[in-house]
């Protein structure tokens, strides 16, 4: 393959995923998908190898191949017009609110590709609104969907659709978002068919295979630039929603030539609460860290993953046994895995890696009844990025395993019985250093109707670390004002609040880089 045609096909495949994403956003109902862009789309070959992704959410896209593989293994055959759906974390999913759809694309009577989407649905049942409870088992987190055919040869499986929708506190919104995913798949299937008609089936397949090989070689070149050796780092989660205690994550990173092994043996055993993370999450976070080292834009596909082996010991909280609770393993534990792997890489590449960013997604889930209507809302909040040798960290931004936006105040207040009283940067919360860490965010909500609020956050006790002599960023804080009285709550908290009560989320600042310059 010549470089020009490879670049053309790289962009053609990526454009399919991007257009799927545009369709999904425009057709969706929930603010979480429409405003925050909490979804991802990708293209796979017939062997369930990812060919291309849109620039969506890293934690989705690095783990989505496991969902596609689970669906392919489940069914003897796919037929034109099929759509498979699943969310089971132990069958390739991440957590139950992330519903994945997979549909085949045929040409000449043969299966050639799959298109896939994963969207975070604001509520899929469970013990608290928003399906992000302080759970102790998977059953408490919502409806579990094993791989099943939602559409068979073009015929909708109405019973399955009704079952999924009926298990949401906002069934109309759920139906709208599911139909938006299906609309995105129609676009993806059509664009791939157009590609094969214009360029030929064999030509598109040959370039798909060449792109996998190109990404593999590019990733190997990145790893080859890291000095051979063994590098270790340890960080910890701050609790599992049942109690506050350290839950260590230990990474042993071994670089050998053009390949790398990241071994998480020695990490904490499975815990009772909701921070357990399935192996797909751990692999996704690790692969993401390696890709960050690339100076050039490496196409993210199956080839990127091949040079990096990830070991997660069974029975640990990074490879739990069913039905362990996992809902914020996807959001919180993934961020700490990134901090841990980057901490190890910083030893191999001193001065190259940035300080720790906020290290949490600051999950806020709210749900209740206003008049005769149920409402449910979920969002994550950004904070401070870690500083680096290139300059100060960004302020008030999402980072690492989330690539979403903050919900605009106007969209939130229009859709929900809530008011945002304050939304600002936490000035000075970034860590000091030659380059300062970015500042966190302060967001204050006032409820206009009774509701249950659940917060899942981290870095409330262990500050984001500085690097090369830089100082740590400030920890985050969560406060509830009930009946006019303010009370500080832990990183993971759930409570029923009344109209007029307030919730204040203060997110962490990023770590600083380098010692202070002489005055």
How far apart (Å, rounded) are the C-alpha atoms in residues 142 and 327?
Answer: 10
Which strands sit side by side in the sheet containing 259-263, from one edge to the other?
229-237, 247-256, 259-263, 308-311
Residue range 92-102, pLDDT digits in tens: 889 999 999 99
Which strands sit side by side in the sheet containing 155-156, from one edge to the other?
50-53, 39-45, 110-120, 98-107, 83-86, 148-152, 155-156
For residues 519 and 440, the model is more confident at 440
Residue range 130-168, pLDDT digits in tens: 999 999 999 999 999 999 999 999 999 999 999 999 999
Helix segments in 200-229, DSSP class H: 201-224
Could you state, in order of their start, the residue ranges of all structural domains in the chain?
3-216, 354-519
In the chain, % of residues over pLDDT 90: 88
Which pLDDT belongs to residue 518?
A: 44
| Structure tokens, 331 | 């959001």
Residue 516 C-beta-side C-alpha neighbours within 13 Å: 6
User: Residues 6 or more apart from 394 whose CB is under 8 A from it?
Assistant: 384, 385, 438, 510
CA diameter of the chain: 73
- Provide the 3-class DSSP secondary structure of residue 106: strand
Cα→Cα distances 55→16, 357, 379, Å: 12, 20, 19
In the chain, % of residues over pLDDT 70: 98
Which pLDDT belongs to residue 519?
A: 41
Helices then strands, each counted (H, E), the chain:
11, 20
Average pLDDT over residues 180-197: 97
Lowest-confidence region among 310-319, 369-378, 436-445:
369-378
Residue range 282-325, pLDDT digits in tens: 999 999 999 899 888 888 899 999 999 999 999 999 999 999 99
Residue 459 has pLDDT above 50, yes or no: yes
| Structure tokens, 31 | 């603010």
């Amino acid at each position: 393959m010549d470089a020009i045609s490879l670049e053309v096909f790289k962009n053609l495949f990526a454009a399919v995923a991007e257009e799927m994403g545009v369709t999904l956003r425009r057709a969706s109902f929930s603010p979480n998908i429409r405003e925050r862009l909490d979804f991802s789309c990708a293209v796979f070959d017939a062997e369930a190898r990812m060919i291309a992704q849109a620039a969506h959410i890293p934690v989705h896209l690095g783990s989505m191949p496991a969902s596609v593989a689970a669906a392919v293994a489940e069914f003897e055959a796919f037929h034109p017009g099929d759509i498979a759906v699943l969310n089971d974390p132990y069958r390739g999913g991440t957590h139950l609110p992330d519903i994945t759809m997979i549909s085949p694309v045929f040409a000449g009577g043969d299966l050639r590709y799959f298109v896939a989407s994963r969207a975070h649905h604001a509520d899929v049942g469970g013990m608290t609104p928003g399906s992000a409870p302080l759970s102790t088992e998977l059953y408490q987190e919502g409806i579990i969907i094993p791989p099943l055919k939602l559409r068979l040869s073009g015929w909708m499986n109405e019973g399955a659709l009704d079952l999924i929708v009926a298990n949401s506190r906002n069934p109309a919104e759920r139906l709208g978002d599911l139909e938006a995913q299906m609309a995105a798949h129609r676009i993806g299937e059509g664009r791939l068919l157009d590609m094969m008609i214009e360029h030929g089936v064999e030509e598109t397949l040959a370039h798909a295979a060449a792109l996998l090989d190109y990404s593999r070689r590019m990733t190997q070149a990145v790893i080859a630039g890291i000095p051979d050796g063994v590098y270790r780092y340890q960080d910890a989660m701050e609790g599992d929603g049942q109690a506050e205690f350290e839950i260590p994550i230990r990474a042993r990173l071994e670089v050998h030539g053009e390949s790398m092994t990241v071994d998480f043996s020695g990490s904490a055993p499975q815990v009772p609460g909701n921070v357990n993370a399935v192996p797909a999450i751990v692999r996704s976070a690790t692969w993401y860290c390696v890709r960050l080292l690339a100076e050039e834009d490496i196409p993210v596909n199956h080839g990127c993953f091949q040079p990096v082996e990830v070991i997660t010991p069974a029975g640990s909280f990074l490879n739990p046994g069913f039905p362990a609770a996992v809902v914020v393993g996807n959001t919180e534990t993934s961020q700490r895995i990134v901090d841990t792997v980057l901490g190890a890489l910083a030893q191999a590449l001193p001065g190259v890696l940035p300080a720790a960013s906020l290290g949490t997604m600051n999950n806020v889930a709210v749900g209740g009844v206003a008049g005769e209507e149920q409402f449910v809302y979920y969002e994550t909040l950004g904070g401070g990025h870690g500083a680096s040798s290139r300059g100060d960290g960004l302020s008030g931004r999402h980072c690492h395993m989330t690539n979403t936006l903050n919900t605009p105040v106007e969209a939130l207040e229009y859709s929900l019985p809530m008011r945002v009283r304050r939304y600002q940067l936490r000035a000075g919360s970034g860590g000091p250093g030659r380059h300062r860490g970015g500042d966190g965010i302060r967001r204050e909500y006032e409820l206009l109707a009774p509701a249950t609020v659940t917060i899942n956050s981290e870095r409330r006790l262990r500050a984001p670390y500085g690097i090369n002599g830089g100082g740590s960023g400030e920890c985050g804080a969560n406060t509830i004002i009930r009946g006019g009285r303010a009370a500080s709550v832990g990183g993971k908290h759930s409570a029923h609040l009344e109209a007029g009560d307030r919730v204040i989320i203060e997110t962490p600042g990023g770590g600083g880089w380098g010692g202070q310059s002489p005055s």
